[in-house]
Amino acid sequence: MSVNAKLQSRVDGIINELTVSQEILNKGVDFFIKSAEKGLDNKDNDPYGLPMIPTYVTSIPTGKERGVLLAADLGGTNFRVCSVSLNGDHTFIIKQEKNPIPVDLMSANSADELFEYLAKKIGQFVNTHHGDQASESKSDDNKLKLGFTFSFPVDQTSLDSGTLIRWTKGFNIEDCVGKDIVQLLQSHLDLLKIPVSVAALANDTVGTLLSRAYSAGAVAGDKQGDTLVGAIFGTGTNGAYPELIDNIKKLPKNYVDELKSKGKTHMVINTEWGSFDNHLEVLPTTKYDVEIDKISANPGYHMFEKRVSGMFLGEILRHILVDLYREGLILQQYRSYENLPHRLRTPWELSSEILSYIEIDDSTALKASELALLNALRLPTTHEERIIIQQLTIAIAKRAAYLGAIPFAGLLLKTKALEGHNKEVDIGVDGSLVEFYPGFRAMLRDALSMTKVGNQGERRVHINIAKDGSGVGAALCTLSD
C-alpha cells in the first residue's frame, strides 16, 4: 500500500520538524546545565527559569529504615492513600487505595473543596486500615505520621511546609496558588477530627528517588551504583537529585553552616524540569506545540513537559490530524470541520495509551490501530490514513523520549557522577510512559548515548522502575532529618 505522494510529502515535512538531531541534544544538554546552575543561584529571579527547588531532604535512604507510615499522593489523575511498612531490609509492604480525582475538583472554585475531599479520603483509609488507632483520641505526638506527595511545583520552606508556585497538568484552582499546602491539608484533617499529622511534603520525583535508593539491593546484584536521579515520565515529567549543599547558592548562608555542622553534605533538589527552556532557546517547536501551549492551563510554562509527557503526546497527534484534514489531505469524507467526529475535535481526548498501541501495531493493514482509533475517537480510517498516523505517532514518541535524555545527561555531567574508575549510576523512574510505552526507555537510552555521556557512559547508567515510588518515598521522607 503506498501513500498518496502529496500527503506523504506533507507528513515527511512534519516528521522532519519533530526530529531531534544530535546537535539539538548537545545544545540542550549544555543549556540544561547552565539553566540548572542559574536556578540554584539566588540571583536568578526569572519566573520562567528552571525552578531547582531545595526540598530540605538531606539524607538518602540506605534500605535499613524501619517503621509503619502513612502516605498520600496527589499526582496527575489519582489520589492514592497508602500505609507503608518498611521492613529495614530494602523491602516494604504497601496497602493502598486509589481514588480517581473528580474532574470538577481539578478546577474547583476554592482550595477547600479539593482539600476537604483529600482529607475525607485519608479519613476513610485510616478507619479501614488503622481503625484501632483512629478511635483513640490522640495528642499531637501520637497521631499517625503522614508523608504527603504533592506533584506540583511548591516553594518549599522546610520539610513540612511549602507554598504552591503554580499548577501544572490540567489543575487550575486559583486561590490555592501561594498557600501552604501542608497547612491546607492539616486544617481539613483537624476539622474532620482525623488523627493524622502531616510530617513531610514531597514531590513525586523526590519520593521516587528515595524509594529507589531504599529498594536498590533488595535482590543481590540489583544495586549498580548509587541512586542519582528520581524521575517521572507520566502525565507530567520531572526529576530530583541530590546536590552538594555548597552549590545551592540560594540557601541562606547560616542555614548552610548549620547543616554542615551536622555533617550534611547534600540536599535533594526538585528540578521541575518540565519548565526547562520556557523561553524556547533550544527546544524544537512546531506550530502544534504553539497551539497546545495556548489551550493549556499554564501557557508559557512547562514547555519541556508539553513536548515530552504523556498528557500531551495524544494531543499533539490530534492537532496534526485536524490540520491535515483542513489542508484537504485526510478524512475528506467529512464535509466540514464541524462534521468531524466529536472526539477528534475535543482537546485531550486522545490519550498516549492509544498511541502506544499504534506504535507497535504490526497487524495486517494496521487493523489493530483501526480498532483503537474507532474505540477511542469513533474515527473510521483508511489503511492509507493509518499508515501516516503510525508514522506520526512514532515521530511524536521518539521526540519525547529523545528530549527526555537531555536532563539525564545534564545531571550526569553536572554532578560528574560517572567520573572515576568503573563508576556506575542508578536512576529510579516511574510513570506510565516509562512503564508502558513500548520502547520509550530504549529510545531515551539511544539519545543518551548520542550526548557527551557517550556509549560507554550510557552503558554504566541503570534505569530502574521504582514501583509505588511516590508513596514509599513520601513515607521515607517523614524519616528524613
Q: Which of 10, 80, 166, 318 is catalytic?
A: 166
Read off the C-alpha cell for 293. Answer: 501551549
Q: In the complex, what is the shortest distance from the CB of residue 100 to ligand GLC, in angstroms, rounded to a whole number?
A: 16
Q: Which of 151, 215, 309, 369 is catalytic?
A: 151
CB of 325 to ligand GLC, least distance (A): 31
Per-residue binding string, ligand GLC, 198-237, x by CB under 6 A, is -----xxx--------------------------x-x-xx
Task: Give CA–CA dist 332/141, Å, rounded.
Answer: 68
Q: What is the dihedral of CA 6, 314, 171, 83, to 10 degrees?
A: -170
Exposed/middle/buried for residue 103 (C-beta within 10 Å: 0-12, 13-18, 19+): exposed
Pick the closer one to ligand GLC by CB: 236 or 314: 236
**Residue, CB closest to ligand GLC:** 236
Query: Residue 49, interface with ligand GLC (CB under 6 A)?
Result: no
User: SS3 of 366, please?
Assistant: helix
Nearest CB to ligand GLC, comparing residues 269 and 389: 269
**Residue 180 or residue 272: which is nearer to ligand GLC going by CB?**
272
Alpha-carbon span 203 to 150, nearest angstrom: 5
Neighbouring residues of 352: CB distance < 8 A, sequence distance ≥ 6: 310, 311, 313, 314, 432, 433, 437
| Smaller CB separation from ligand GLC, 195 or 274 | 274
Q: What is the DSSP string of 213-271?
A: HHHTTSSTT---SEEEEEEEESSSEEEEEEEEGGG-TTS-HHHHHHHHHTT--EEEEE-
383: exposed, middle or buried (Cβ count in 10 Å: 0-12, 13-18, 19+):
middle
CB closer to ligand GLC out of 28 and 457:
28
CB nearer to ligand GLC: pick between 65 and 430: 430
Residues 298-357 contacting ligand GLC, CB under 6 A: 305
* Residue 274 touching ligand GLC (CB under 6 A): yes
Return the C-alpha cell found at 312: 500531551
Shortest spacing between CB 313 and ligand GLC, in angstroms: 14
Binding mask 61-80 for ligand GLC (x = CB under 6 A): --------------xx----
Please say if 352 is a catalytic residue: no
Q: Residue 21 is placed in which grid cell?
A: 538531531
Decide if residue 152 touches ligand GLC (CB under 6 A). yes
Can you tell me which of 35, 58, 59, 238 binds ligand GLC, judged by CB under 6 A? 238
* Least distance to ligand GLC, CB of residue 440, Å: 15
Residue 99 pairs with which residues in a beta bridge?
79
Catalytic residue status for 10: no
Give me the residues paired with residue 433 across strands: none
Sheet of 425-430, strands arranged across: 53-54, 266-270, 237-244, 226-233, 425-430, 461-465
- Report, in Å, the least distance between residue 151 CB and ligand GLC: 4
- Judged by beta carbon, residue 14 or residue 433, the one nearer ligand GLC is 433
**Is 204 among the catalytic positions?**
yes
Give 125 or 167: the residue with its C-beta nearer to ligand GLC: 167
Quote the least distance from Cβ 50 to ligand GLC, whole Å: 12
Q: Which of these segments, 4-12, 151-159, 184-192, 260-268, binds ligand GLC (CB under 6 A)?
A: 151-159
| Three cell numbers written together for 29 | 544538554
Q: Which of 73, 204, 361, 430 is catalytic?
A: 204
- Which of 272, 293, 315, 426 binds ligand GLC (CB under 6 A)? It is 272
Q: Any bridge partners for residue 427, and if so which?
A: 229, 463
Residues 10-39 that bind ligand GLC (CB under 6 A): none
Q: How far is the CB of 164 from ligand GLC (least distance, A)?
A: 10
- State the pairing for strand pair 161-164/154-158: antiparallel
Q: How far lies 197's CA from each of 143, 186, 257, 298, in Å?
A: 6, 7, 29, 32
Q: How far apart are CA 161 and CA 180, in angstroms?
A: 6
Residue ranges that bind ligand GLC, judged by CB under 6 A: 75-76, 151-153, 168-169, 203-205, 232, 234, 236-238, 272, 274, 305
Annotated active-site positions, please? 151, 166, 204
